[in-house]
């Protein structure tokens, strides 16, 4: 019996999950500030729907299976497809539609750095408008999300499919397949040298001359006029929304996913760690929804790899242990166990996070347990305390101890730093 999770998956235990829940909460609040609503779509879809966008060879790269009714299904590998399905199925929804998601996805990939078979992605879609303001909003949300969650700065590298297509046109690359190969090659340049990329193209029998022509244009930043104008507008609007100048960079080599995007595209890199690759990318996809319905609906959006984000920013809360309770009630011996249990329950109904001994252990082992769980306060109760109608309060960090009268206890506990902090945090969330 194998006890490890399947290849490319992992368990999230309370320690790590607690940290993530905080991040998700922050993300939700931000999306909702901009008027987006959360959607949850099924884990699996009709295979046909998934294949529509990318062709049947997608089967090699995802989890696809047949159910007991003989339906061909596949696990979601991209959150945009189900959302496009929803919109295509009801084109009468008032526009714009603003949806966001925080969810897991699956791809049948070879696991490696920043790539799991099951992984988490957050993102949003803004559907029903093709104005530059819409793309600017997407850029702003992505930027704000990255920076507020990590406290780091990111470079938003932007480009436009129109520009890339115009460059390809000028280089004489007319064949669709050839263009894709060339874009793919250009996109690799952040990881590979120009020579290596050229060698690969030669092996694939793709014209190296066209590649060189395109590179010359990209490097000269001699951008075809019309295409450029719209991108400039988007950048201007994003700046108006508060994205700082030095966070935006036009990079004509950004080409990832071009067969899906129709206009504006962007990728984001953690400043100083550009070699780790993009953590968040998005852009405009005006023809996807039309694939599923009988009506073209313009749309823009982005997706963000949560696991990858946490990995490259090294959220270093490793030493932070999961704290199952703030207060632990320690009965000193068996005589007072019932009293301890009563006290515990009373505090719980007052809203404190309280635990007590359920293993009939001695006080020494109890203190050791409290310490190992990072619980900050202990209430020691024994015959002496009961007689005086008090408890011995122990601060686990300092080791100091003092007697608190039973009736004053609630007020005293409420004012403790670790407890106050938690209830304040709760209120903060409720305000938003």
Partner RNA sequence: GCCGUGGUGGUGUAGUCUGGCAGCAUGUGGGACUGUGGAUCCCUUGGCUCGGGUUCAAAUCCCGACCACGGCCCCA
Question: Rule CB under 7 A: which residues touch RNA?
Answer: 2, 4, 6-9, 53-54, 58, 61-62, 77-78, 107, 109-114, 184, 188, 191-192, 200, 256-260, 332-333, 359, 361-364, 367-369, 371-372, 380, 382-385, 392, 394-399, 401
Cα separation, 411 vs 432, in Å, equals 27
**Residue 123: closest CA among 265, 306, 360, 332:** 306
Q: C-beta of 35: minimal distance to RNA in Å? A: 25
* Least distance between RNA and beta carbon 169 (Å): 21
Three-state DSSP class for 157?
A: strand
Pairing relationship of beta strands 401-405 and 390-395 according to DSSP bridges? antiparallel
Tokens describing residue 196: 């290596």
The DSSP-derived string for 302-367 is EEEEHHHHHHHHT---TT----S-SEEEEESSGGGHHHHHHHHHHHHHTT--EEE-SS---HHHHH
> 71 or 384: whose CB is closer to RNA?
384
Report d(CA 332, CA 399) in Å as an integer: 17
Q: Using N-to-C axis directions, what is the helix angle for 161-170 and 176-187, rounded to 10°?
A: 110
- The nearer residue to RNA, 97 or 206, going by C-beta atoms, is 206
C-beta of 410: minimal distance to RNA in Å? 20
Shortest Å, Cβ 43 to RNA: 15
Q: How far is the CB of 241 from RNA (least distance, A)?
A: 25
d(CA 263, CA 171): 20
Q: Which CB atom, from 62 or from 97, has the smaller least distance to RNA?
A: 62
Q: How far is the CB of 197 from RNA (least distance, A)?
A: 8
Comparison of 403 and 432: residue with beta carbon closer to RNA: 403
* Residue nearer to RNA on the CB measure, 342 or 426: 342
d(CA 219, CA 68): 55
Least distance to RNA, CB of residue 185, Å: 9
Q: Are 300 and 285 in contact (CB under 8 A)?
A: yes
Rank residues 57 and 220 by Cβ distance to RNA and give the closer one: 57
Check residue 373 and report its DSSP letter.
T
CB of 62 closer than 8 Å to CB of 106: yes
For residues 172 and 383, which CB has a smaller minimum distance to RNA in the complex? 383
């Amino acid at each position: 019996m194998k006890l490890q999770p399947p290849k490319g998956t992992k368990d999230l235990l309370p320690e790590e999950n607690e940290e993530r829940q905080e991040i998700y909460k922050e993300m939700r609040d931000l999306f909702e500030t901009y008027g987006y609503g959360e959607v949850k779509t099924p884990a699996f879809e009709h295979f046909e729907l998934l294949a529509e966008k990318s062709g049947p060879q997608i089967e090699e790269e995802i989890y696809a299976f047949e159910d007991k009714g003989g339906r061909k299904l596949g696990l979601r590998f991209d959150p945009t497809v189900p959302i496009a399905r929803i919109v295509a199925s009801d084109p009468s929804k008032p526009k714009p539609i603003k949806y966001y998601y925080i969810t897991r996805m699956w791809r049948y990939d070879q696991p490696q750095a920043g790539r799991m078979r099951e992984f988490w992605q957050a993102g949003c879609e803004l559907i029903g408008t093709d104005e530059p303001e819409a793309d600017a909003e997407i850029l702003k949300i992505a930027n704000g999300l990255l920076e507020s969650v990590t406290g780091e700065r990111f470079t938003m590298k932007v480009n436009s499919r129109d520009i890339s297509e115009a460059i390809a046109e000028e280089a004489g690359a007319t064949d669709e397949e050839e263009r894709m190969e060339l874009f793919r090659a250009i996109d690799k340049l952040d990881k590979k040298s120009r020579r290596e990329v050229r060698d690969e193209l030669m092996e694939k029998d793709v014209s190296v001359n066209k590649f060189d022509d395109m590179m010359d244009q990209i490097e000269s930043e001699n951008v075809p006029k019309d295409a450029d104008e719209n991108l400039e507008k988007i950048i201007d609007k994003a700046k108006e929304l508060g994205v700082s100048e030095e966070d935006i960079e036009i990079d004509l080599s950004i080409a990832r996913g071009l067969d899906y995007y129709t206009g504006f595209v962007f990728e984001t890199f953690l400043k100083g760690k550009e070699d780790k690759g993009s953590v968040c990318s998005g852009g405009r996809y005006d023809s996807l929804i039309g694939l599923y319905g009988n009506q073209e609906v313009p749309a823009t959006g982005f997706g963000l790899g949560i696991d990858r984000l946490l990995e490259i920013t090294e959220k270093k809360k490793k030493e932070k242990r999961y704290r199952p309770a703030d207060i632990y009630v320690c009965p000193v011996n068996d005589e007072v166990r019932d009293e301890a249990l009563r006290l515990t329950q009373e505090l719980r109904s007052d809203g404190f996070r309280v635990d007590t001994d359920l293993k009939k252990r001695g006080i020494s082992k109890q203190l050791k347990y409290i310490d190992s769980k990072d619980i900050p306060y202990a209430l020691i109760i024994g015959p002496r305390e009961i007689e005086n109608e008090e408890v011995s309060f122990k601060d686990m960090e300092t080791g100091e101890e003092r007697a608190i009268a039973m009736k004053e206890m609630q007020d005293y506990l409420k004012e403790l730093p670790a407890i106050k902090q938690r209830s304040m945090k709760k209120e903060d969330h409720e305000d938003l």
